[in-house]
Amino acid sequence: MPNTQPIEKRAPSTWNGSVDVHSIFLTIQGEGPFCGRPCVFVRLAGCNLQCPACDTEYTAGRRMMAPSEVVFEVNRLWRAERWRDEGLVVVTGGEPFRQELRGLFDMLNHQGYDVQVETNGTLAPTRLASYRPYVTSMAKGIQGRMPGVYVVCSPKTGKVHPDILEVACALKYVLEAGQVAEDGLPLHALQHPGRPARPPMGWDRPVYVQPMDAHDDGLNALHTRAAVASCLRHGHTLQLQVHKFIGVE
């Protein structure tokens, strides 16, 4: 079924930094530079785009939560497993940067968590200057340093906001067989109209290519072969949605 969840504009800031949350759950990160890491997902509600092939529910059951409430739930899930104190929190959506997140990020970092943000790249983070000390290229490594915030951008439209490109540690593209351009990247992303933005000249950070999940084994095999061919020919890095292979959310 095509995605029919409504488009939502940037949300106004709240006096206490509250965010509109769809769900919070413990899982394995299945994509991007932290693939394979145990993590807590904080899925935020609402998106400023409506990609027809998006298979994520980000609207139903939403509720407003103060940053302290989000962190309390993250701690409860993470520490219930008696893992080490430091961990990973993935903030996703919908589109996270519809909302003001600096207070939540600061609180999570203070608790010892790395934060990975997944964004479509169309909206700039607010208070950009405060991101710069936290965000580094994944090529510089993630061990032996203070917790930080890492932005992974998956372009869906023809332009990525320059502030996102400044802080993003990777670009991730969803590829569909038969919709592959000469550079091995998609002509359309999740069937959103228009050609998604390309890495800028001089981009020195990872470019991931991931086959689209069509919920059909035959189509998925075609999409996977197209993604593999793209990586072999153009040097992109193949990504699979590992969480779906292992049967977690």
What pLDDT score was predicted for residue 195?
Answer: 93
What pLDDT score was predicted for residue 133?
Answer: 38
What pLDDT score was predicted for residue 139?
Answer: 39
pLDDT tens-place string over residues 1-27: 788 999 999 998 888 889 999 999 999
What pLDDT score was predicted for residue 127?
Answer: 62
Q: Which residues contact 109 (CB under 8 A, 6 or more apart)?
A: 115, 134, 146, 147, 148, 149
Give residue 248's pLDDT band: very low, low, confident or very high (50, 70, 90).
Answer: confident
Joined tokens for residue 169: 């540690």
What pLDDT score was predicted for residue 232?
Answer: 98
Burial of 42 (0-12, 13-18, 19+ CB in 10 A): buried
| Domains, in order of start, for the chain | 19-245 (3.20.20.70)
What pLDDT score was predicted for residue 7?
Answer: 94
What is the SS3 assignment for 150? strand
Task: Say if residue 112's pLDDT is above 60.
Answer: yes
Give residue 148's pLDDT band: very low, low, confident or very high (50, 70, 90).
Answer: confident
Among 54-58, 138-142, 166-170, 222-226, name the most confident range.
222-226
Give residue 132's pLDDT band: very low, low, confident or very high (50, 70, 90).
Answer: very low
% residues pLDDT > 70 (the chain):
89
Smallest Cα–Cα separation from 175: which of 159, 154, 160?
154
| Amino acid present at 60 | A
Averaged pLDDT score across all residues of the chain: 87
pLDDT tens-place string over residues 189-225: 888 888 999 999 999 899 999 999 988 999 999 999 9
Between the CA atoms of 147, 153, 159 and 165, what dihedral angle is there, to the nearest 10 degrees? 30
% residues pLDDT > 90 (the chain):
61
What's the average model confidence in pLDDT over 127-141?
46
Measured in residues, the chain has a length of 249
Task: Identify whether the C-beta of residue 210 lies closer than 8 Å to the C-beta of residue 174.
Answer: yes
Burial of 16 (0-12, 13-18, 19+ CB in 10 A): exposed
SS3 content of the chain, % helix, strand, coil (to 5): 25, 25, 55
Element (H, E) at 78: helix 67-79
- Bridge partners of 63, per DSSP, are 21
Task: Identify whether the C-beta of residue 209 lies closer than 8 Å to the C-beta of residue 228.
Answer: no
Give residue 172's pLDDT band: very low, low, confident or very high (50, 70, 90).
Answer: very high
Least confident of 85-89, 136-140, 234-238: 136-140
Q: How far apart are CA 231 and CA 238, in angstroms?
A: 6
Q: How far apart are CA 51 and CA 193, in angstroms?
A: 8
What pLDDT score was predicted for residue 249?
Answer: 66
What pLDDT score was predicted for residue 199?
Answer: 96
What's the average model confidence in pLDDT over 95-106?
93
What pLDDT score was predicted for residue 244?
Answer: 77
